[in-house]
Structure 1
Amino acid sequence: MPSSPLTDRVTVWFGEHRRDLPWRAPDRTPWGVLVSEVMLQQTPVVRVLPVWEQWLRVWPVPADLAAAGTADVLRAWGRLGYPRRALRLQECARAITERHDGVVPSDEDELRALPGIGSYTAAAVVAFAYGGRSVVLDTNVRRVLARAVDGAALPSPAHTVAEVRRATALVPDAPGDAAAWAAASMELGAVVCTARAPRCGACPVADLCRWRADGYPPDLHAARRRTQGWAGTDRQVRGRVMGLLRDSVGPVPLVEVERLAVEGTDRPRLQRCVDGLVADGLVEVVGDDEPALRLPA
């Protein structure tokens, strides 16, 4: 569609207030953009920045990561969380190296065919790496459009067909304008139109926002949103196990692993978490008489 007051104003605002992030720099590479998008999934920018910079120093192109050892990859991933993403990113690097001669594809369908790359990441790479036209619909963009266009406090827990259609209709026709809108709307949601404390006074489209005009009605989907604490969960236990193995130079005896169990964690839960890590390919069991755990070779 042609530009609109909403897309125009947000894009202008972005030009003046955008954060200086390395994956937005003029010398960014498509590979660097793809790595940033995978790392940023459910992870704050402040935690991603040092890991991303180190990652690109060690593995500046897909072929480098494709040839790396699994243990090195998991150690480099550090405490970003959801370490399966690291393994999927390495699988993605191998596929890019083998199928695309080491060049990150610019086509959404080809990107979605890569391991671990979904619709959002494919669209983001097209927009942010190649300046192409795509529908980039992450949590931040969904929240901006839900409030500004639909008058809802927050979007529905799951994507809807109507939501995707509305987002698609707003994307400017020109590829460059579309890519700018994608980055700008995402930034607005990340730093101004936040979930818990929106800064409406700093919003460039506050006067166009239907949610604000309607008096900030409450979230209609609040009852469906479930949040789980971190302490005592399987995620915490798995994280503790992975942290111990990352910091160890060799296999860790299972008896030592059991001692790190979070207070109140029973042995069956710890065993379940270890079994899950093994099934996910994140941990290996070695030794018969005295079992030990290690990162995959």
Structure 2
Amino acid sequence: MNDARTDLTSAVAAWYDEHARELPWRGPDRTPWGVLVSEVMLQQTPVVRVEPAWQAWLARWPTPADLAAAPTADVLRAWDRLGYPRRALRLQECARTLVERHGGEVPDDEAALLALPGIGPYTAAAVRAFAFGRRAVVLDTNVRRVLARAIGGEALPAPALTRAESDRALALVPARAADAARWAQASMELGALVCTARAPRCDRCPLVSSCAWVAAGRPDDAHAHRRRTQAWAGTDRQARGRLLAVLRESTSPVPEHALAQAWPPPAQRARCLAGLVADGLVVQARPDDEAGPDDEPAYALPS
């Protein structure tokens, strides 16, 4: 690695040593399973919401075997409002695979991690780096943004990961495994706390004097026209969330007329319920005798 890039990684690592948050999945008592759970929970969900959920989850299911044996309904209720509840199902599938193929232990081999349900390249690299101290290219949204600005001179990276970005990230990874793992954590933390998407704190950044984006006058996002944003109100995602919330709170099947109170538009409600069933998040069941007529569809969490 050339001197300039060594200076960059060293500066970020030194900043991390002083400013890193104390998060439970970074503690000395962390387990590979705890790291894997944290990475799945942190996908598109902020730390402030994940931390208490992670604590409760690991207290209840401290090993893959514990989660593998749990009723799926309990898993979905524990996931609560972390968002994207299919992640909870994939996490339980992952736990069952760990029990069946790996003796209930999280492997440190990249190919073995990638073969697990719900584990993609980023999560596999993060688990190898943060749980096992291996050398890996950990490239999440935060790291991509730091490198796009500091080296590429861009406000934000392209919407989809490019080969050039991957090559650039690989070239920065220190040779020593311990240094590589520290750089991965440090660059991610810098993007989360300082080099943020909407309001970067450049005055607090250890790279401000060498940042290509700052040197270029902090130009606007060149990829803005390719980014799509979707309103939340009225979407199927909101409808699915409302319907799931009702089902999480019920210990018995909920008839459709009761779900209509949570989401009145009938066509959208039917579409979302069908999607939840197809995703394995909900099952159709007979309502309790007093809840509705036998021919009325009812829904519940899977057992």
The answer to whether the aligner puts 1:281 opposite 2:280 as a matched pair is: yes
Secondary structure, counterpart of 1:204 in structure 2? coil
2:172 corresponds to which letter in structure 1?
L
Counterpart among 231, 234, 253 of residue 233 in structure 2: 231
d(CA) in 1 for partners of 2:69 and 2:161? Answer: 37
Deviation at 1:83, TM superposition (A): 0.3
RMSD: 0.9
The answer to whether the aligner puts 1:11 opposite 2:10 as a matched pair is: no
- Cα-to-partner distance string for 1:63-89 (whole Å, 9 max, x where unaligned): 000000000000000000000000000
1:266 corresponds to which letter in structure 2?
P
Deviation at 1:267, TM superposition (A): 1.1
Q: What is the aligned residue count?
A: 294
d(CA) in 1 for partners of 2:109 and 2:153? Answer: 34
2:193 corresponds to which letter in structure 1?
V
d(CA) in 1 for partners of 2:249 and 2:104? Answer: 31
Deviation at 1:266, TM superposition (A): 2.4
Deviation at 1:36, TM superposition (A): 0.2
- Cα-to-partner distance string for 1:4-28 (whole Å, 9 max, x where unaligned): 1110000010000000100000000
2:59 corresponds to which letter in structure 1?
R
1:147 maps to which residue?
Answer: 149
Secondary structure, counterpart of 2:151 in structure 1? helix
Deviation at 1:109, TM superposition (A): 1.1
2:222 maps to which residue?
Answer: 220
1:33 maps to which residue?
Answer: 35
Deviation at 1:208, TM superposition (A): 1.1
1:48 maps to which residue?
Answer: 50
* TM-score for both structures, normalised by structure 1: 0.98
Deviation at 1:125, TM superposition (A): 0.1
Counterpart among 166, 169, 172 of residue 167 in structure 1: 169
1:266 maps to which residue?
Answer: 265
1:284 corresponds to which letter in structure 2?
V
* TM-score for both structures, normalised by structure 2: 0.96
Return 5+ residue gaps in structure 2 as ranges. 287-293
d(CA) in 2 for partners of 1:163 and 1:290? Answer: 53
d(CA) in 1 for partners of 2:140 and 2:221? Answer: 19
1:163 corresponds to which letter in structure 2?
E
2:61 maps to which residue?
Answer: 59
2:299 corresponds to which letter in structure 1?
L
Paired-residue identity, %: 67
Moved more, 103-112 or 133-142: 103-112
Return 5+ residue gaps in structure 1 as ranges. none
Secondary structure, counterpart of 2:154 in structure 1? coil
2:299 maps to which residue?
Answer: 293
d(CA) in 2 for partners of 1:271 and 1:153? Answer: 42
d(CA) in 2 for partners of 1:241 and 1:78? Answer: 12
